[in-house]
Chain A
Amino acid sequence: MSQRYSSFEPKGTRWLLQRLTAAFLVVVLAFHFMLLHFVNHAAEVTFAGTQMRMQTAGYFVTMVAFGLTATFHGVNGIYNALVNQGIDGTAKAAVKYGLVLAGLLLAVQIVRLSLVMAGISL
């Protein structure tokens, strides 16, 4: 008897968001690797260089969106993987809220860090 193994609600919101964020991340992650390893070499990165890039509005918005999207995709992916492994009940709830908290903390830090890198003080 065939079974369906995905822990995602079939074609639900998390399922859709995971795929939409994936499509965005495929492009931006490849761009990130190209820019910071092949165009600018990682060993030559300085704060001045980072700040120059982050003070370009388009780059700043792209990088913040990159960080936040990666956070959602990663945290949602981990939750899905753990549910796939069969956790339920209290463990599932603990993982869910733990991941939501970790994701929110990371998202806040990404925004704070991006502002510092761009030299923007609120």
Chain B
Amino acid sequence: MSQSYDRGLVEDFGRWTEFSAGMWAWIFHKFTGWVLVGYLFTHIAVLSTAMAGPEVYTSTLQGLEALLVVRFLEVGLLAVAVFHILNGVRLLLVDLGIGLESQDRSFYASLILTGAIVVASVPTFLAGAL
């Protein structure tokens, strides 16, 4: 028999101080998902400059990469993507019935690992733009 968990009205963000780790994981996964799908459309639009010719593609990409703000946005994108991946793996494992008793800890581990990977990647992402 399936079991369900009463997480209250999660859409009521006014009671965010009462949110548990699982609800924060749910909110972060939705937020990062929205950002990633928005980026997917933007990314394809930018890459589509290839249809205007090789030079347009190369100059558009290199022109964007020359902007420091774009480099910082890429670090933000990395943070969003890494969290979505790690939390997504956690969700897949939960769906398979693995780690049901340590969902809070695996969420915190996702956050810490995301932070570590992003911090370690900053030099590579900012190289040549500072």
Contacts and interface: CB of A to CB of B under 8 A. Distances in A.
Contacts of B105: none
A106 B51 contact: no
A65 B129 CA distance: 32
B37 interface: yes
Contacts of B2: 10
B62 A45 contact: yes
B124 A70 contact: no
A81 B33 contact: yes
Contact of B50 (A50, A74, A102): A50
B127 interface: yes
A113 B121 contact: no
Contact of A41 (B3, B78, B127): B127
Interface residues of A, number: 44
A2 interface: yes
Given A19-B92, A26-B89, A42-B65, A113 B44 contact: yes
Given A2-B6, A37-B125, A29 B33 contact: no
Nearest to A86: B11
B58 A47 contact: yes
Contacts of B129: 43
A41 B124 contact: yes
A113 B92 contact: no
A75 to B, nearest CB: 7
13 contacts: A3-B4, A19-B95, A22-B91, A37-B124, A43-B62, A45-B58, A74-B33, A86-B11, A102-B41, A106-B40, A106-B41, A116-B51, A117-B47
Interface of B: 2-7, 10-11, 30, 33-34, 36-37, 40-41, 44, 47-48, 50-51, 54-55, 57-58, 61-62, 65-66, 74, 78, 81, 85, 88-89, 91-92, 95, 121, 124-125, 127-129
Interface of A: 1-5, 10, 19, 22-23, 25-26, 29-30, 33, 37-38, 41-43, 45-48, 50-51, 67, 70-71, 74-75, 77-78, 81, 84-86, 102, 106, 109-110, 112-113, 116-117
